[in-house]
Amino acid sequence: MENINSNLIRQIVEEAIRDFQPEGIATTQQTMRFAGIRSRATLNAWEREGTFPERVVLKRNADGSPSSVGWRWDELYKWRDSLPRVQEAA
pLDDT number for residue 12: 75
Task: Report yes or no on 9 lying in a domain.
Answer: no
What is the SS3 assignment for 10? Answer: helix
CA distance 74 to 53: 10
Handedness of CA 34, 39, 43, 49 (dihedral sign): negative
pLDDT number for residue 40: 94
pLDDT number for residue 9: 78
Task: Report yes or no on 63 lying in a domain.
Answer: yes
Closest CA to 58 of 30, 27, 32, 29: 27
Based on the structure, what is the number of domains in the chain? 1
Give pLDDT tens digits along the chain (90 positions): 456 677 777 777 777 666 566 789 999 999 999 999 999 999 999 999 999 999 999 999 999 998 999 999 999 999 999 998 887 655
Task: Report yes or no on 59 lying in a domain.
Answer: yes
Handedness of CA 52, 35, 73, 59 (dihedral sign): negative
Which domain, by its residues, includes 52?
24-82
Task: Report yes or no on 11 lying in a domain.
Answer: no
Task: Report yes or no on 52 lying in a domain.
Answer: yes
Q: Please work out, in degrees rounded to the nearest 5, the angle formed at the alpha carbon of residue 16 by the alpha carbons of 14 and 18.
A: 70
Task: Report yes or no on 87 lying in a domain.
Answer: no
pLDDT number for residue 86: 81
Q: For the chain, what is the radius of gyration of the CA atoms? A: 17
Task: Report yes or no on 4 lying in a domain.
Answer: no
Task: Report yes or no on 10 lying in a domain.
Answer: no
